[in-house]
Amino acid sequence: MRKHNKRNRKVRKCIEGPNFSGQHFMHHKPTIRELIQLASIGSEDTVVDIGAGKGALTFPLSDRGCQVLAVEYDKALATYLKEKAKCYNNIHVFHQNILGFPLPKRPFKVVANIPYAITTEIMKKLLSDSASMLQNGIIVMEYGAAKRFTSFPQKNPDIILWRMWFDLKIIKRLPASYFSPPPSVSSAVLKIRRKTTPLISYKNGQHFHALVSYALAYPIQPLSRALSGIFTPRQVTHLVKTLNVSRETSINQLREEQWKTVFETMSKHVDRRYWPSVKKKR
């Protein structure tokens, strides 16, 4: 009995102790139910719960009959969750860093209250890989991050690439009192939905990213100057008319549909020798 209590104290200490990963555990049950409702979870779905913690989302998700992949980096929490879930045949607990976790090779969804400290890295893992099978997601994150991912004008090539393939929308903000420990920053719910028809093909993702990275090296410079190393003066003139913008429009003022036009124009009319180089993956 003493050993059991000692073990529980260890888990409790881990849960309540220093929050090095930026993890804030949600305990507001109405919001938990709302998140799952927003994700439209069915029994045929595979759902990844990132930073599963004590299972605040894991177990309500399992009640929908879906397969839940609960990923938790903290050893004590993962052990606690495995013990709690041992009678559930549709919950699979992984003691692993999500950044090294192999995502499902079949279509999947994400419903998660993620560690705020690695928000951008998680989003890159989910959205930047053209082979990702993510269909949609409901993710709780820092409001500032959610705002960056959905803002305009946009100067981040990664975010622009994501938005060629996915719709990103802030659903609502959440008060700090819904979490333990309460975060010192504002929180929000971000909805991710894969576009029925991507604005650029998945096979062209790397070349598109290279183009946008090149053009946004100086985000507020005029479009005509930002693209002059790729297009001839005549091509730039034609492109400006097609985009229905001024030559002096800042390059970061382009919308996703306009970036699509720029890329398609480059693909059709510019010799590959003048395309921006694709960076090799490390």
Kindly tell me the number of DSSP H helices and DSSP E strands found in the chain.
11, 9
Q: Is 264 annotated as a binding residue?
A: no
Q: What span, in angstroms and rounded, lies between the C-alpha atoms of 226 and 219?
A: 8
- Residue 142 assigned ligand-binding role: no
Q: Is 51 annotated as a binding residue?
A: yes
Q: For residues 210 and 86, give the distance between their C-alpha atoms in angstroms, rounded to a whole number.
A: 46
Cβ neighbors of 16 (< 8 A, separation 6 or more) are: 181
Q: Is 26 annotated as a binding residue?
A: yes
CB proximity list for 173: less than 8 A, separation 6 or greater = 143, 186, 187, 188, 189
Could you tell me if 260 and 268 are in contact, meaning their C-beta atoms sit under 8 angstroms apart? Answer: no
Tell how strand 46-50 and strand 67-72 pair up: parallel
Q: Is residue 270 packed enough to be buried (19+ CB in 10 Å), middle (13-18) or exposed (0-12)?
A: middle
Answer for the pair 231, 223: CB distance below 8 angstroms, yes or no: no
Please tell me the distance from the alpha carbon of residue 211 to that of residue 259, in angstroms, as a whole number. 9
Q: Measured between alpha carbons, how far is 66 from 92 in angstroms, rounded to an integer?
A: 11
Bond before 198 cis per omega within 30 degrees = no
Q: Does 17 carry a binding-site annotation?
A: no
Residue ranges for the known binding site are: 24, 26, 51, 72, 113
Residue ranges for the known binding site for S-adenosyl-L-methionine are: 24, 26, 51, 72, 113
